[in-house]
Structure 1
Amino acid sequence: MSQNTGPSRPSDCPPAGDGSRRAGGTPGSGRRLTVADVLALPVLAAGQPQVVTGVTRLDRPVRWVHITELTDPASFLKGGELVLTTGMPLPEDAAGIRRYVDELADIDAAALVIELVRRYHRPPDALVQACRARRLPLVTLARDVNFLEVTQLVHALILGNQTDAMRRTQRIHEAFTALTLRGGGPEEVVRAAAVMSGRTVVLENLVHQALICEPSGSTVEEVLTGWEERSRSAPPGDRTQTRGPEGWLVSPVEYQGERWGRVAMLPSPGTDAVGAAAAFSSEDVTVLERTAMALTIARLIHSTPWERTAHRSALRELTEQRHHSPEDARARFAALGLPTEGTVYRAVLADGGTFGDGAGLESRLSRELTALGRPALVGVLAPGRIGVLLALRPAQRWRPTVERLSRLVLGVDPGAVVSVGPEVTHLADAARSFRAADRVAEAALPGRPPPDGRSFHEQSDIGLRHLLYALRTDTRVQDFAERRLGPLLDHDSRHGTGLLTTLRHYLDAAGNKTTTARRGNLSRETVYQRLRTVERLLDCDLESGEQRTELHTALTALDVLRLG
């Protein structure tokens, strides 16, 4: 018996084992056994197998092995069998051979293996032509092979794989059941699906916006670029199946006839449409079906719509700069429907103590922007804080839109603060606009409305008082105010004098003593006397412009520190 470990083949054909390597894994690794796997087994390799036709179809799964010497073996087959024959029952005429092959192809036999030892020493031309016409893999064996040993070994592998597959399927069900019982949200569900399958999984809504994306082996940019167009080319279906030119495995997410979207599992990068259908295993189907079921349950028990969750997640990733690259961020937001071409961006923050979880106001702001026809993402960024990312055309007026949003916020919480960041031209810079809006919010003085009759705050509003208010928790500011004014405050406290008030009037009057006297309802002589006392207590020269500036800054800091 030959000691060859692989089949011989024509020089222009890949080895039969290539199908196994393309499909990944080895026999018994848990995936489906393929024709290439069986041909690579030592018991068959000893027969010097040669692939005559169907070399590109060696990744076909083998459901069973069938030995036959019948002229009509197809009547005993169900599909997926590897048919072994000595060639003895083949018809003599070409028409009979074509009928024999057609019957095998019609029931979807995995492959035909013929031994060239007893009746034939080369495959009949009619057999080769018929198998090539029906794309049925035809494999010849140059040496005698114990077919019974082949069936025993292959069937053991198949049954072992089936047992392993049952165990893995059980683990899949258990994992999703546990996830559902602990109330996992849609992001957890999609992430679990990607981890279990090792594939990219995307949840989209009915208008083909990618709401949640968990890439595997790809970047977000690669997965989501042109998402809507690509998704629309994969028409919806009523069950889990491969769809579209890219061969996505998709499953609808619905409840009692109401469809909310679908979840898609993408084939590995580089897989063509022909190979995509075979790329997914029964376990992938199980994972996706359980994903769709878990998403349905998550939708029922979590009141927040998917779109709101997606907007929140995207905005948090943006503000915290958790995107892997600017290109990923661009693809992510484009897949959510935000314009990314010919667009500028501006951040808006709403901070209030009575927003609750923010979901109600979040929805109202989103509806208002939709009514205005303004593309934007709206999401709760933290308790008591809602973020809005406006996408605007260059030179488009943004103030009326922000004014509408601000008045809506103040209608819910009159004490809320709405702040606006600067315009940025690139989505990757939007985090900078949010940071600037945050600084504006920190500097907004409580109880003091913005200037110019506006209801929102912007960077131009920040003066010395606002800046010091934003820095009020900095101990250096506190120390500065105490060092410069502490002795004066102590003197007023011990003696009941109003030297601090006199100093305030003096600084507000830009050093004019007459105006100081009038504002304090004091005589000029009293003012002179008090100012000399101030200079002595503070060891300063009030005629010095620099020292007056320091005292004015310290006094302003004291005021904002007292605001709390």
Structure 2
Amino acid sequence: MTENHPTMRQPAPDDRDSSAPVRAVTVADVLALPVLTAGEPQVVTGVTHLDRPVRWVHITELTDPASFLKGGELVLTTGMPLPGDAAGVRRYVDELAGVGAAALVIELVRRYHRPPEALVDACQARGLPLITLARDVNFLEVTQVLHALILGNQAEAMRRTQRIHEAFTALTLRGAGPEDVVRAAAEMSGRTVVLENLVHQALICEPSGTTLEEALTGWEQRSRATPSGDRTHQGGPEGWLAAPVEYQGERWGRVAMLPARTTEPAFGPEHITVLERTAMALTVARLIHQAPWERTAHRNALRDLVEQRHRSPEDARARLVALGLPTENSRFLAVVADLPVEDTTANATANPETRLSQELRTAGIPALVGELAPGRLGVLLALSASRPWLPAVERLSSAVLDLAPQAVVSVGSEADDLTDAPRSFHEAARVADATPPDQPLPPGRSFRELSDVGLRCLLYALREDTRIQEYAERQLGRLLDHDTRHGTDLLPTLRHYLEAAGNKTNAARRGGLSRETFYQRLRTIERVLDCDLESGEQRTELHVALTAMDVLRVR
């Protein structure tokens, strides 16, 4: 039984994206050339092998052409020398298949008008594509056209290889970080590229033609199933192309290129070149940038999570799991630590991110730690259902305060799902932004949470809002101007009165004044501010304005 399939037009070289790696000329490409389509080619066997690369063209009328072949040739024949017996035909095909011929093209014009059954059976048994031509074709013209195409393709491949080397050299010279290197590799190769550490955690993933979820789901198990090697190699169940990243015998991890989900060959020589240059550029980046890859990966993952830059919740979850954070059956809690710069620089050897990560790892608390902004660290805790969050946060807070005694540690609310983790971070950040430097810690706690944000903290958080500034000035400006011009102390008197909740006797005692003097000052305050201090509403307005004025003066 034959596999007669009319050939379909394949993309011409000019149709291809100039930025994509140069693809080798295949049997399918050859059959799409006008010089061969004129012969009405039909694929008789090996239709699934039309992606075989064609290295050269060989015209032969010999009974033993294999002795002149090196593999990858498209063999053209009129069929004249084909043995007449089935055994001879099988031997003829076996020799072609054994040497690695790309395909056999036979012209059905002179000796044959249909392919011999023995030839069809032999080609089918060896998986050798057999193509018949119903019309006369000038084999010499086929050779000229195809050789020009192959040589042009090889020249373009050399030019692209040169551009690859130049691109990575430029990245190295400008001191590019690992993220830039991996991104460039994915763009140049058109494949997903992943940098992992020695414990098979995916630190950087640049997907191409896929999503983070598809690229990283089950990463550790898939990675462990792909053996590591001492050089660039392809292997494992998924056929990854992988290269070690190392320097002077010290290995730091490996970079993997994942095959595309297409019918094209998984990888070609250009992909190997890209991956090898990627590994070299990553080595240089590691030597230039002293920050450990894990710290940078955690930092970037947290920033993307907080700012919700992932394409989907599934992408975010796959990325964090690939970094080693458990997400199944976990509760999440965000902690923000604001560290004064002078406290952290005093001990330069104790990097806060590294110290806190080690502390949490020692305590067996799964977490990601990373700098969200200068002076602000973010921590995402992943806690099991049976583990209360308070001891974990207290231990973390103590470690932070050991590093920087003036630090402010703030906690968001628990999140049952990773999709709610950004909300927990935003809550913790609001608490941190609302905490004045002189705000005392709540009794029995070394951290702050939303319930600690009172009026003073709220106004402190809004202190840069011009509406708050304008309100405080409108309410108290005239009183402050009066004190300045006349050398009086009416503002402290008002403060004592408001803090005593309108009790004049207590207020006078607080201010160390006689009742008569105190009453006289209150009347002056009412006249200057044109207000009624007996009004609870107006006292509230003045109390808010006075608190706002206090926080506006905090430095």
Normalising by the smaller structure, the TM-score range is over 0.9
Structure 2 counterpart of 1:545, from 519, 530, 536: 536
Partner of 1:74: 66
Among 298, 306, 323, which residue is 1:336 paired with? 323
Aligned to 2:222: 230
Equivalent position to 1:416, from 407, 414, 417: 407
**Inter-CA distance 194–359: structure 2 relative to 1 (3 Å threshold):** farther
Partners of 1:215 and 1:27 in 2: CA distance: 19
- Residue 93, structure 1, aligned to residue 85, structure 2: yes
8 Å Cα contact 2:4-2:45 kept in structure 1: no
Q: Is the 8 A contact 1:358 1:386 kept in 2?
A: no
Counterpart position of 1:157: 149
Quick one: which amino acid aligns to residue 559 of structure 1?
D
Q: Counterparts of 2:417 and 2:13 in 1: how far apart (Å)?
A: 42
**Quick one: distance in 2 between partners of 1:453 and 1:17?**
77
Identify the range of structure 1 (133-142 vs 527-536) with the bigger mean alpha-carbon deviation.
Answer: 527-536
Q: Distance in 2 between matches of 1:205 and 1:119?
A: 63
Query: Does residue 1:399 correspond to 2:390, yes or no?
Result: yes
Whole-Å separation in 1 of the counterparts to 2:4 and 2:283: 48
- Give 1:68 deviation, angstroms: 1.9
Distance in 2 (CA, whole Å) between partners of 1:32 and 1:119 is 33
Counterpart position of 1:442: 433
Instruction: Check whether the contact 1:116–1:122 (CA below 8 A) recurs between aligned residues.
Output: yes
8 Å contact kept, 2:411–2:428: yes
2:339 aligned with 1:347: no
1:490 correspondence with 2:481? yes
Give the distance between the partners of 1:65 and 1:158, measured in 2 at CA.
10
Identity %: 73
**d(CA) in 2 for partners of 1:90, 1:359:** 80
Tell me if 1:458 matches 2:449: yes
SS at match of 2:230: coil
SS of equivalent to 1:96: helix
Separation in 1, partners of 2:86, 2:197: 55
Contact 1:240 1:249 in 2 (8 A): yes
Residue 220 (str. 1) matches residue 212 (str. 2):
yes
What are the equivalent positions in structure 2 for 1:26-175 lying under 5 Å apart?
30-175=22-167
Deviations 1:15-54 (A, max 9, x none): 3336x35999579994211111212222222333221110
Matched with 1:305 is 292
Retained in 2: the 8 A contact 1:345–1:390?
Answer: yes
Counterpart of 1:3 in structure 2 is none
Q: Determine whether 1:468 maps to 2:459.
A: yes
Distance 1:214 1:384, change over 3 A: same
Q: Is the 8 A contact 1:358 1:384 kept in 2?
A: no
Once the two structures are overlaid, the 10-residue window that deviates more, 228-237 or 193-202, is 228-237
Would the alpha carbon gap of residues 485 and 111 (structure 1) be closer, same or farther in structure 2, given more than 3 Å must change?
same
**1:530 matched to 2:521:** yes
Alpha-carbon distance between aligned partners in 1 of 2:323 and 2:103, rounded to the nearest angstrom: 46
The 3 A distance-change label for structure 1 pair 25 and 476 is closer
Assess, with a 3 A threshold, how the Cα gap between structure 1 residues 429 and 309 changes in structure 2: closer, same or farther. Answer: same
**173-182 or 344-353, which deviates more:** 344-353
2:351 is paired with a residue whose SS is helix
Q: Secondary structure at the match of 2:238?
A: coil
> Which deviations, in whole Å up to 9, do the C-alpha atoms of 1:462-489 show, x marking residues without a partner?
1111111222222222222222222322
* 8 Å CA contact 1:17, 1:37 repeated in 2: no
Specify every segment of 5 or more residues in structure 2 that has no aligned partner in the other structure, as ranges: none
Question: Aligned match of 1:384 in 372, 375, 379?
Answer: 375
Q: Is the 8 A contact 1:358 1:383 kept in 2?
A: no
The answer to whether the 8 Å contact 1:26/1:37 transfers is: no
Cα distance in 2, alignment partners of residues 547 and 513 from structure 1: 16
Aligned to 1:370: 361
Q: Aligned match of 2:243 in 231, 240, 251?
A: 251
Matches of 2:17 and 2:25, distance apart in 1: 6
Counterpart residue identity of residue 222, structure 2: R
Offset from partner CA, 1:153-183 (integer Å, 9 cap, x none): 1111111111111111111110111011111
User: Do the aligned partners of 1:253 and 1:263 also contact (CA within 8 Å) in 2?
Assistant: yes
Asked whether the equivalents of residues 202 and 264 of structure 1 are also in contact (C-alpha less than 8 Å), the reply is yes
The amino acid across from 1:507 in the alignment is L
The whole-number CA distance in structure 2 between the counterparts of 1:316 and 1:35 is 48
Distance 1:99-1:23 versus aligned 2 partners, 3 A rule: farther
For residues 479 and 138 of structure 2, the distance between their equivalents in structure 1, rounded to whole angstroms, comes to 108
- State the AA in 1 paired with 2:30: V
- Residues in 1 aligned to 2:504 and 2:16: alpha-carbon distance in whole angstroms: 95
State how far apart, in whole Å, the 2-side matches of 1:518 and 1:246 are.
82
Letter matched to residue 501 of structure 2 = A
Mapped to 2, the partners of 1:143 and 1:530 lie a distance apart of 116
Q: What does the per-residue CA deviation read over 1:65-104, in whole Å, with 9 as the maximum and x for residues that have no partner?
A: 1122222222221111111222233333323322222221
Write the distance in 1 (CA, Å) between the matches of 2:455 and 2:372: 28
Q: Cα distance 1:16–1:233, how it changes in 2: closer, same or farther (>3 A)? A: farther
Amino acid at match of 1:371: T
With the length of structure 1 as denominator, give the TM-score of the two structures: 0.91
Instruction: Say which SS state the counterpart of residue 563 (structure 1) adopts.
Output: coil
1:282 to 259, 269, 275: 269
Correspondence 1:261 to 2:253:
yes
Amino acid of the structure 2 residue aligned with 1:141:
L
Whether contact under 8 Å (2:334, 2:425) holds in the other structure is yes
What amino acid maps onto 1:300 in structure 2?
L
Q: Deviations over 1:439-496 (max 9, x none)?
A: 1112212133311132222111111111112222222222222222223223333333
Do 2:4 and 2:44's aligned partners in 1 also have CA atoms closer than 8 Å?
A: no
Which consecutive residues of structure 1, in runs of 5 or more, have no partner in the other structure?
A: 1-8
- Supply the AA of the counterpart residue of 2:287: L
In the alignment, the residues of structure 2 paired with residue 252 and residue 16 of structure 1 have an alpha-carbon distance, to the nearest angstrom, of 42
Q: Which amino acid aligns with 1:523?
A: S
What's the TM-score once normalised by structure 2's chain length? 0.92
Residue 114 of structure 1 and its aligned partner are, at CA, apart by 2.0
**Residue equivalent to 2:311:** 324
Which range moved further: 27-36 or 389-398? 27-36
Q: CA deviation at 1:532?
A: 1.9
280, 300, 317: which is aligned to 1:293?
A: 280
Q: 1:5 aligns to what?
A: none
Aligned length: 549
Assess if the C-alpha contact under 8 Å between 1:233 and 1:244 holds in 2.
Answer: yes
Deviates more, 1:247-256 or 1:284-293: 247-256
Is the 8 Å Cα contact of residues 240 and 256 (structure 2) preserved in structure 1?
yes
Aligned AA for 1:459? L
8 Å CA contact 1:69, 1:89 repeated in 2: yes
Change (3 A) 1:264 1:479: same
Question: What is the RMSD of the two structures over their aligned residues, measured on CA atoms?
Answer: 2.5
Matched AA of 2:481: D
2:194 aligned counterpart, secondary structure: strand
Secondary structure of the residue that 2:6 maps to in structure 1?
Answer: coil
For 2:116, the aligned partner's letter is: P
Residue 382 to residue 282, structure 1, CA distance change in 2 (3 Å): same
